[in-house]
């Protein structure tokens, strides 16, 4: 077990897996140009942390590659740390790429890059859609994020070719870039890191790079994806009492919801035995005292005008928010409260009292609505130690005083690099961002240290460092609209499930529409028994006066029963109409959209808990399908095992052998258009 063994694992035995330019010297093989030594920092039952420590030839820079070798899978992760150990400014450090290596591939087969889109709040049903990019000679695959929400894509990829490949990911809550280019007949150049670095380090300064994960694989690509899911569940999922976080099922509420109505709502939830895990209070509760709508009225919102002013609006909440939190706890629910600490409206108290804590200034007509006023935003500087301490103390105090169990951090900006770059000098490009990201992670970690049971809901960032600390209860804004297409939630579940097991979604409750609700099933779902948002015309139009609580309880019970299976292995049963034999023989070479958006198709997936010998199958027949019956081949079952399969709707149970389900498949008939079926199965024990 050694640092060299890690390099061999990932296919980097000839050169280090990173590059750096030091002054005018491009160090493609730093091992030959700087002195180095290896150390083993620590070891436990399933991991070894190796260190290779380099010192520059001028004695100014110490570069440490901390590389974690995982003994239970093929994953290797690493971060670079650079420190000025001299007494003067260093030469400029540029082109710093923690991942830069050449992969050897078969010259006769076109490799494919699988990746998923981002949250795309304006784009509709294609949020998190799984994509395939054929990497033909001369073509360059590239995904990136300018910081903030991961709008375009999430930082995960799988380079596939003929039963082998490399899965990779980046951990960086800032601006990142990933690229892969076919530079030769049998070679792919793979790069990942920050978008730009050009930094002269001052004496005693130390910085880190993005985290890199690389997992080589052989065999079936879907099993490689499940290996990544299992890895992320262990190492990149927040744990409580030694177990992965249970993503909560939430009842939503707008920040302007008055105390008396919130308490009435929670009494109704308990009376109807709805068993929500959390009561969610979103934006709109803060700022100057003023009248506030009790619902999110699209096009008439003012919540964004007061971000940065975290005083409770006493007109909307005369007694504060603790009575609402107390009521949630009384009804065995956690209390979730929304914040957006990264953005500050210019003119709020903190921007006047400490202008030195605010980075940049951006004017925007928020949301592009002609009736909404222009507002100027600055970025709160988490890289400033004094500013970070003030924010940490204020949020921590608010958590304790109100009784917050879930801290929701939104960031309604997908271009934070604009702020960082606005204050960097030419020889310090990237420094503001690095300090900001380091500070943001410290902010989250310190809050967790002070509040060990606090659950973090970090909205739509999705990188490795963030998902290690937090869930994302609203993976996309698209399903919030009452008239959103349920296919959007189907596509998002498929696209995210390839990479990780802990995330959530919101969905507008449409009474008696089981297809609509099951389309949103995932590890955690937020839905309500009352209207939450929409235009003035939409509010109230989607609910009956007598809400069907019996149906809603059934949906809740199904969701709670299904939730544990989302932590297992994921098998897509319908992808772009390809038959299963071709799909699992993989990979594809000529198809950009792996997911189907067609309203004539079916959508189905299986979640398998091998450890429990149980699982579930979700089947959704879209509204214009011409077919009533389909056959679905299941995965991950014991060939000789007998399985009891329960149809949730009819309560009928059948028994089938694992080999039959894995070869012939499970035949499913759905007559309704649209329609759905949910099955739970378990392996029967021999008597």
Rounded to whole angstroms, the Cα distance separating 683 from 637 reads: 9
pLDDT at 125 over 90: no
DSSP assignment of 409-454 equals: E----S-THHHHHHH--TTEETHHHHHHHHHHHHHHHHHHHHSTTP
Residue 368: its pLDDT value, please?
A: 44
Phi and psi torsions of 154, nearest 5°: -100, 155
User: Dihedral of the CA atoms 286, 287, 288, 291 (nearest 10)?
Assistant: -50
Q: How many of the other CB atoms lie within 10 Å of CB of 352?
A: 10
CB half-sphere exposure, 221, CA atoms < 13 A:
27
Of the candidates 255, 252, 236, 254, the one whose C-alpha atom is nearest the C-alpha of residue 244 is: 236
Distance between first and last Cα of the chain = 45
| ∠ Cα 534 537 542 (to 5°) | 65
pLDDT tens by residue, 562-607? 999 999 999 999 975 443 333 333 444 454 778 888 999 999 999 9
Q: How does pLDDT run across 614-659, given as a tens digit for each residue?
A: 999 999 999 999 999 999 999 999 999 999 999 999 999 999 999 9
Query: How far apart are alpha carbons 74 and 151 in whole angstroms?
Result: 30
Spell out the domain ranges in the chain.
3-240, 248-339+383-411+503-565, 598-683
Share of the chain above pLDDT 70, in %: 95
Lowest mean pLDDT among 191-195, 238-242, 421-425, 572-576: 572-576
pLDDT computed for residue 595 by the predictor: 82
**Secondary structure (H, E, C), 596-613:** CCCCCCEEEEEEEECCCC
CB-based contacts of 424-432 (< 8 A; 24+ apart in sequence) = 426/198, 427/92, 427/198, 427/199, 427/200, 428/198, 428/199, 428/200, 429/196, 429/197, 429/198, 429/199, 430/194, 430/196, 430/197, 430/198, 430/199, 431/199, 431/207, 432/359, 432/383
Q: In what order do the strands lie in the sheet with 614-621?
A: 569-572, 602-609, 614-621, 675-683, 642-647, 653-657
DSSP 202: P
For residues 600 and 183, give the distance between their C-alpha atoms in angstroms, rounded to a whole number: 40
Closest to 147 measured CA to CA, from 139, 136, 155: 155
Model confidence band, residue 369 (pLDDT cutoffs 50, 70, 90): low
Pick the CATH number of 3-240 from 1.10.3720.10, 2.70.98.60, 1.10.1490.10, 3.40.50.300: 2.70.98.60
Residues 6+ apart with CB under 8 A from 6: 50, 67, 69, 76, 78
Residue 365 belongs to what H/E stretch?
strand 358-365
The Cα-based distances of 152 to 78, 120, 646 in angstroms read: 25, 6, 39
Q: How confident is the model at residue 118 (pLDDT cuts 50, 70, 90)?
A: very high
Q: How confident is the model at residue 678, as a pLDDT?
A: 98
Instruction: Say what the pLDDT of residue 348 is.
Output: 96
The pLDDT of residue 316 is above 50? yes
Give the residue-averaged pLDDT of 204-208. Answer: 98
CA–CA distance, 409 with 256 (Å, rounded to integer)? 18
Closest CA to 131 of 160, 169, 97, 164: 160
Residue listed under structure tokens 């009474």 = 511
Per-residue pLDDT, 413: 87
Q: How far apart are CA 215 and CA 217, in angstroms?
A: 6
**pLDDT value at position 370?**
54
Query: How deeply is 459 buried, as exposed, middle or buried, from its count of CB atoms within 10 A (0-12, 13-18, 19+)?
Result: buried
Mean pLDDT over the full length of the chain:
92
CATH superfamily of 598-683: Golgi alpha-mannosidase II (2.60.40.1180)
Closest of 99, 83, 3, 98 to residue 43, by C-alpha: 3
Q: What's residue 577's pLDDT?
A: 40
At residue 549, the 3 state secondary structure works out as helix
Stretch 370-383: mean pLDDT: 85
Residue 613 pLDDT exceeds 90:
yes
Return the pLDDT at 116: 95
Residues whose CB falls within 8 Å of the CB of residue 250, separated by 6 or more in sequence, listed in order: 276, 277, 278, 279, 280, 336, 473, 504, 524, 525, 526
Distance CA 345, CA 377 (A): 5
Task: Provide the pLDDT for residue 578.
Answer: 41
Would you place residue 685 in the very low, low, confident or very high pLDDT band (cuts 50, 70, 90)?
confident
When pLDDT is averaged across residues 177-192 and rounded to a whole number, the result is 95
Q: Is the dihedral of CA 668, 475, 569, 157 positive or negative?
A: positive
Average the pLDDT over 543-567 and give the result.
Answer: 91
pLDDT of residue 162: 86
Give the confidence band of 422 by pLDDT, cuts at 50, 70, 90: very high
The 10s digit of each residue's pLDDT in 274-314 is 999 999 999 999 999 999 888 888 878 888 889 999 999 99
Please state the rounded mean pLDDT for residues 386-391: 98
The 10s digit of each residue's pLDDT in 487-497 is: 999 999 999 99
Query: What average pLDDT score do residues 203-231 get?
Result: 97
6-10, 263-267, 388-392: least confident range:
6-10
pLDDT value at residue 686: 76
How high is the pLDDT of residue 583? Answer: 37
Q: The pTM is what? A: 0.95
Cβ count within 10 A of residue 641: 17
């Amino acid at each position: 077990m050694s640092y060299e063994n890690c390099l061999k694992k990932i296919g980097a035995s000839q050169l280090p897996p990173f590059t750096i330019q030091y002054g005018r010297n491009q160090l493609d093989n730093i091992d030959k140009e700087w002195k180095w030594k290896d150390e083993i920092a620590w070891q436990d039952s399933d991991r070894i942390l190796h260190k290779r420590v380099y010192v520059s030839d001028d004695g100014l820079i110490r570069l440490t590659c901390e590389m974690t070798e995982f003994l239970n899978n093929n994953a290797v992760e690493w971060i670079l740390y650079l420190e000025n150990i001299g007494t003067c400014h260093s030469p400029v450090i540029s082109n710093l790429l923690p991942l830069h290596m050449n992969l050897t591939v078969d010259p006769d087969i076109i490799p494919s890059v699988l990746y998923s889109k981002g949250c795309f709040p304006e784009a509709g049903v294609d949020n998190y859609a799984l994509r395939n990019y054929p990497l033909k000679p001369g073509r360059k695959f590239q995904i990136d994020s300018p910081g903030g929400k991961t709008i375009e894509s999430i930082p995960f990829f799988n380079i596939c070719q003929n039963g082998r490949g490399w899965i990779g990911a980046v951990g960086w809550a800032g601006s990142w870039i990933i690229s892969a280019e076919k530079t030769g007949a049998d070679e792919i150049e793979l790069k990942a890191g920050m978008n730009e670095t050009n930094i002269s380090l001052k004496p005693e300064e130390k910085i880190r790079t993005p985290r890199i994960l690389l997992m080589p694989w052989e065999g079936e690509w879907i099993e490689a994806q499940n290996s990544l899911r299992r890895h992320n569940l262990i190492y990149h999922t927040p744990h409580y009492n030694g177990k992965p976080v249970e993503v909560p099922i939430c009842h939503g509420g707008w920040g302007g919801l008055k105390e008396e109505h919130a308490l009435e709502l929670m009494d109704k939830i308990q009376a109807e035995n709805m068993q929500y895990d959390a009561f969610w209070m979103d934006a709109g509760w803060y700022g100057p005292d003023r009248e506030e709508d009790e619902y999110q009225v699209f096009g008439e919102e003012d919540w964004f005008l007061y971000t940065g002013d975290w005083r409770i609006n006493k007109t909307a909440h005369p007694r504060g928010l603790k009575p609402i939190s107390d009521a949630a706890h009384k009804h065995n629910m956690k209390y979730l409260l929304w914040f957006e600490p990264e953005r500050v409206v210019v003119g709020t108290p903190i921007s006047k009292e400490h202008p030195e804590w605010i980075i940049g200034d951006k004017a925007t007509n928020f949301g592009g609505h002609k009736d909404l006023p222009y507002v100027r935003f600055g970025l709160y500087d988490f890289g400033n130690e004094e500013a970070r301490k003030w924010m940490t103390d204020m949020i921590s105090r608010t958590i304790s005083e109100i009784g917050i169990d879930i801290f929701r951090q939104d960031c309604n900006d997908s271009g934070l690099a604009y702020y960082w770059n606005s204050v960097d000098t030419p020889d310090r490009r990237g420094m503001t961002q690095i300090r900001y990201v380091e500070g943001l992670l410290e902010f989250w970690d310190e809050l967790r240290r002070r509040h060990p049971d606090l659950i973090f809901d970090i909205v739509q960032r999705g990188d490795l460092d963030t998902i290690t600390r937090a869930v994302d209860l609203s993976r996309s804004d698209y399903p919030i609209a009452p008239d959103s297409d349920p296919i959007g939630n189907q596509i998002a579940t498929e696209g995210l499930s390839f990479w990780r097991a802990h995330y959530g979604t919101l969905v507008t409750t449409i009474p008696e529409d089981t297809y609509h609700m099951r389309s949103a099933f995932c590890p955690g779902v937020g839905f309500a028994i009352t209207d939450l948002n929409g235009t003035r015309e939409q509010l109230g139009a989607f609910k009956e006066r007598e809400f069907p609580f019996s149906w809603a309880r059934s949906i809740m019970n199904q969701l709670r029963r299904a939730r544990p299976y989302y932590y297992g292995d994921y098998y897509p049963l319908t992808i772009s109409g390809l038959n299963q034999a071709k799909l699992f023989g993989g990979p594809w070479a000529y198809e950009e959209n792996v997911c189907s958006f067609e309203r004539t198709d079916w959508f189905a997936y299986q979640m398998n808990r091998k450890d429990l010998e149980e699982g579930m199958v979700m089947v959704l027949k879209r509204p214009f399908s011409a077919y009533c019956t389909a056959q679905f081949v299941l995965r991950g079952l014991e060939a000789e095992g007998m399985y009891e399969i329960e149809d949730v709707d009819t309560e009928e149970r059948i028994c089938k052998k694992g080999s039959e389900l894995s070869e012939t498949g499970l035949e499913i008939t759905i007559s309704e258009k649209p329609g759905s079926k949910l099955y739970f199965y378990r392996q029967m024990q021999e008597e």
